[in-house]
Amino acid sequence: MEYRNLGRSGLEVSIVGIGCNNFGRRMDYAATEAVVGMAVDVGINFFDTADSYGGEGRSEQFLGRALKGKRHEIVVATKFASPMGEGPMRSGASRRYILQAVEDSLRRLDTDYIDLYQVHFPDPKTPLEETVRTLDDLVTSGKVRYVGNSNFAGWQIATAAKIAEHEHLEPFVTAQNQYSLLDRRIEQEVVPACEAFGLGILPYFPLASGLLTGKYHRGQPAPEGTRLAAWPMGERMLTDQNFNVVEKLDEFAQRHERSILDLAIGWLASKSSIGSVIAGATKIEQVEANAKAAAWRLSAEEMAEVDALTKR
């Protein structure tokens, strides 16, 4: 397993991380414990959750319980800002809310510190300086080690970096955004902003909700029990336009005696700006496959060919 520093920080994480959004939702505790155990066995040390995952904080609760005895070996990332109930006091990135949210997450995770604390979504109702200053206070207090953002636009990443620099506050070290061979929108502004200000990128949905796993085929319904069979977004993803790209990528992967899943994760891992590829897993076999896929490093020529196949 390869380990990389997150942005310009000294925090080292495995090139493949575990996305914990299914813990407590599609997975009970026994399944969660099995996935966490296998991840640790194959060298994965980065687990990404959020207070809103699993409903009522169950993902954090399950993760904290599964990490008993392993916490010192693990980098735990969680998030705040998503609604945790009704009303203006149960979401956002204000000082008042953050100070409550971090205590709630620490309790659910059963830990006294969070390695990476991330703003889940931008909060247009709160000045960004208030958010950055509050997160700096949490780092100073020792409750949080590093801070990051999620779903920020490029200009928001730049603004936060300038606030931190001017006010001598703790800067964001990561940006977590949707990024895959089928969704390369962040290359327009987010990736350049991260490279300019030294943030590591944490791609989520790297397998395009499963479309880059080889499970789905043109003209056939989504297999029962899969994410795209259950989610309303399935019809939006299973389009001829997407399959035109998927089929070309599958042919490329086969020429290299690899799977399309190997290509999806290996392509991201081949980019120096990527800190860790966050891939969800509901079975131990998926953990093993994701970890193996991260070993593929595409050459410059191969990257150029994939670029040509996927740019829209």
pLDDT in tens, 255-294: 999 999 999 999 999 999 999 999 999 999 999 999 999 9
190: left (phi over 0), alpha (psi -120 to 50) or beta: alpha
Instruction: Say whether pLDDT at 85 is over 80.
Output: yes
pTM score, whole prediction: 0.94
To the nearest 10 degrees (0 to 180), the angle between helices 58-66 and 95-109 is 40
Catalogue all structural domains in the chain, each as residue range(s) with its CATH number.
3-216+261-297 (3.20.20.100)
Asked about 53 being catalytic, the answer comes back as yes
* Separation between Cα atoms, residue 60 and residue 109, nearest integer Å: 5
The confidence band for 38, taking pLDDT boundaries of 50, 70 and 90, is: very high
Please tell me the predicted confidence (pLDDT) of residue 88: 83
pLDDT tens for residues 153-179?
Answer: 999 999 999 999 999 999 999 999 999
Q: Which of 29, 53, 117, 146 is catalytic?
A: 53
- pLDDT given for residue 233 in this prediction: 65
The average pLDDT across 136-140 equals 98
Q: Residue 239: which pLDDT band, with cuts at 50, 70 and 90?
A: confident
Of the two residues 198 and 239, the one the predictor is more confident about is 198
Question: Residue 214: which pLDDT band, with cuts at 50, 70 and 90?
Answer: confident
Question: 222 pLDDT band (50/70/90 cuts)?
Answer: confident
